[in-house]
A and B are shown apart, each in its own frame.
Chain A
Amino acid sequence: NAGVTQTPKFQVLKTGQSMTLQCAQDMNHNSMYWYRQDPGMGLRLIYYSASEGTTDKGEVPNGYNVSRLNKREFSLRLESAAPSQTSVYFCASSGPGPGEGEKLFFGSGTQLSVL
């Protein structure tokens, strides 16, 4: 049981470049999330997917797109990276049973620098 796996761990981009962050979970969870973590600002929700086939915007969705490829996989795409997107990105999942829906299981994070 690997839990939540995200790749890559580190990435450096130039302004305007694009990239996709990959995330997969093997816990049969229904819900998946993408957060960004910036100093002093906690974790802010970018997008989430409550179930396969659905996605919704979170608090800071501008500049990002997501795809819920199947129940296991949820990817985050930066179409044209900007320095303001320099951050640590965490994928997370939750569910499916009663009382378990709120507990988030996080991936190990991706440190992204946009120059």
Chain B
Amino acid sequence: GENVEQHPSTLSVQEGDSAVIKCTYSDSASNYFPWYKQELGKRPQLIIDIRSNVGEKKDQRIAVTLNKTAKHFSLHITETQPEDSAVYFCAASIRNAGNMLTFGGGTRLMVKP
């Protein structure tokens, strides 16, 4: 089955700096890559996703890049703010194959004011 590795497990940045979280996946058939944000004590929520026919996608301060050849994808957050502090999860799935998402282990991002 699919295996998703996520790094780093913790990341501390100064407010205003950029943060990058990286994930690798094992199954070359995977074609859907979402990112979820989980604030402390809350439920995970989708923040951005990318499909394998696209190399990059942006939404305001967040962007995701995908390298299919190397089987890795990354989340980029620019101009970080204290409210970006949360645990971020990457995931991968084969679309139309039961929608079974395989999640990475998570990255705890701390943005220091």
Contacts and interface: CB of A to CB of B under 8 A. Distances in A.
B34 A102 contact: yes
A contact face: mostly helix, strand, loop, or mixed: loop
Contacts of A61: none
Contacts of B54: none
Interface string B32-48: 10101000001111100
Contacts of B106: 40, 42
Contacts of B45: 106
A13 interface: no
Contact-residue bracket for chain A: 20 to 34
Contact of A94 (B96, B99, B103): B99
A24 to B, nearest CB: 15
A115 interface: no
A43 interface: yes
Given A40-B106, A103-B34, A45 B99 contact: no
B31 to A, nearest CB: 10
Contact of B44 (A44, A56, A101, A106): A106
Nearest to A108: B43
A106 B38 CA distance: 11
Contacts of B103: 42-44
Contact of B101 (A41, A45, A50, A108): A45
Interface of B: 1, 4, 6, 9, 32, 34, 36, 42-46, 49, 89, 91, 93, 95-96, 98-106
